[in-house]
Amino acid sequence: MTMLYQTQRAMRNQRLAAMQRGVVAILDVGTSKIACLILRFDGVTPNSATEGVGAMSGQSRFRVIGVATTRSRGVKFGEIETMEETERAIRTAVQAAQKMASIRVDHVIACFSGARPRSYGLAGSVDLHEKAVSEHDIARVLSACDVPDYGRNRQVVHALPVNFALDHRSGLSDPRGQIGNRLSVDMHLLTVDQAAVENLLHCIKRCDLELAGIASSAYASGVSSLIEDEQELGAACIELGGGATSISIFIRKHMIFADSVRMGGAHITSDISQGLQVPMPMAERIKTFYGGVEATGMDDREMIDIGGETGDWEHDRRQVSRAELIGVMRPRVEEILEEVRARLDAAGFDHLPSQRIVLTGGGSQIPGLDSLAARILGQQVRLGRPLRVQGLPQAATGPAFSSAVGLCLIAAHPQDECWDFEIPMDRYAGRSLRRAVKWFRENW
Amino acid sequence: MQPMKPFKARRDPAPSKTSYRFQRLWLTPVFRSILRTGVPAFTILAAVVWYLSDDARVDALREHAADLRASVEQRPEFMVNLMRIENVSEEVAEDIREITAVDFPVSSFDLDLALMRANIEELDAVAQASLVVRAGGILDVEVVERVPAIVWRGREALELLDVTGHRVTPIEARGDRQDLQLIAGDGADVVVPEALELLAAAQPISNRIRGLLRVGERRWDLVLDRNQRIMLPEADAVTALERVLALNTINELLSRDLVIVDLRDARRPTLRLGVEAQEFLFQISNDKAKDDA
Task: Quote the ipTM score.
Answer: 0.73
Rounded Cα distance, B116 and B191, in Å: 30
Closest chain A CA to residue B13: A92
Q: What's the pLDDT score for residue B8?
A: 65
Q: Kindly state the DSSP code that residue A179 receives in the 8-state scheme.
A: B
Rounded Cα distance, A342 and B185, in Å: 142
Instruction: Give tens-digit pLDDT for A164-216.
Output: 888 888 888 788 888 888 888 898 989 998 888 888 888 998 888 988 888 99
Instruction: Give tens-digit pLDDT for A316-336.
Output: 888 899 999 999 999 999 999
Rounded Cα distance, B99 and B117, in Å: 10
Going along chain A from its start, the domains and CATH numbers come out as 119-191 (3.30.1490), 265-331 (3.30.420.40)
Q: What is the DSSP string of A85-98?
A: HHHHHHHHHHHHHH
Inter-chain contact B4–A286, Cβ cutoff 8 Å? yes
Amino acid making up residue B75: R
Helix, strand, coil content of chain A in percent (nearest 5):
45, 25, 30
Helix (H, G, I), strand (E, B) or coil at B88: coil
Rounded Cα distance, B255 and B262, in Å: 16
Q: How big is chain B, counted in residues?
A: 293
User: What number is the average pLDDT over the span B99-107?
Assistant: 78
Counting one residue from A and one from B, how many pairs have CB atoms under 8 Å apart? 50
Interface test with B, best of A91, A282, A310 (most B CBs within 10 A): A91
Contact between A38 and B24 (Cβ < 8 Å) = no
Rounded Cα distance, A76 and B199, in Å: 129
Q: What's the pLDDT score for residue A388?
A: 85
Query: Within 10 A of B244 (CB to CB), how many other CB atoms are there?
Result: 20
* Residue in A89, A102, A307 nearest the CB of B14: A89
Whether A53 shows a pLDDT value over 50: the answer reads no
- Nearest-Cα distance to chain B for A329, in Å, is 18
- Nearest-Cα distance to chain B for A187, in Å, is 40
Inter-chain contact A104–B27, Cβ cutoff 8 Å? yes
Instruction: Give tens-digit pLDDT for B180-206.
Output: 888 888 877 788 888 888 888 888 888
Contact between B232 and B222 (Cβ < 8 Å) = yes
The CATH architecture assigned to B187-287 reads: 3-Layer(aba) Sandwich (3.40)
Helix (H, G, I), strand (E, B) or coil at A201: helix
Instruction: Give tens-digit pLDDT for A368-396.
Output: 998 999 999 888 899 999 988 888 888 88
Query: Within 10 A of B247 (CB to CB), how many other CB atoms are there?
Result: 15
User: What number is the average pLDDT over the span B77-100?
Assistant: 79
Closest chain B CA to residue A291: B1
Using an 8 Å CB-CB cutoff, list residues of chain B that contact chain A: 1-4, 7, 9-10, 12-15, 17, 19-21, 23-24, 27-29
Q: Kindly state the DSSP code that residue B255 receives in the 8-state scheme.
A: G
Q: Supply the mean pLDDT for chain A.
A: 85
Give chain A positions within 8 Å (CB) of B19. Answer: 95
Closest chain B CA to residue A106: B24
Which CATH fold would you assign to the domain B76-145?
Ubiquitin-like (UB roll) (3.10.20)
Amino acid making up residue B265: D
Q: What backbone phi and psi angles, to 5 degrees, belong to B35?
A: -70, -30
Contact between A141 and A426 (Cβ < 8 Å) = no
- Helix H or strand E encompassing B94: helix B90-100
Rounded Cα distance, A26 and A403, in Å: 10
- Helix H or strand E encompassing B67: helix B55-73
Structural domain boundaries of chain B? Answer: 76-145, 187-287
- Nearest-Cα distance to chain A for B15, in Å, is 6
Inter-chain contact A282–B10, Cβ cutoff 8 Å? no
* Residue in A91, A98, A281 nearest the CB of B27: A98
User: B259: left (phi > 0), else alpha (psi -120 to 50), else beta?
Assistant: alpha
Give chain B positions within 8 Å (CB) of A304. Answer: 4
Single out the residue of B126, B142, B145, B143 nearest to residue B134, CA to CA.
Answer: B142
Contact between A274 and A267 (Cβ < 8 Å) = no
CB contact set of B235 (below 8 Å; sequence gap of 6+)? none
pTM recorded for the entire structure: 0.65
For chain A, give the percent of residues with pLDDT over 90.
30
Closest chain B CA to residue A322: B1
User: What number is the average pLDDT over the span A231-241?
Assistant: 91
Helix (H, G, I), strand (E, B) or coil at A206: helix
Contact between B186 and B214 (Cβ < 8 Å) = yes
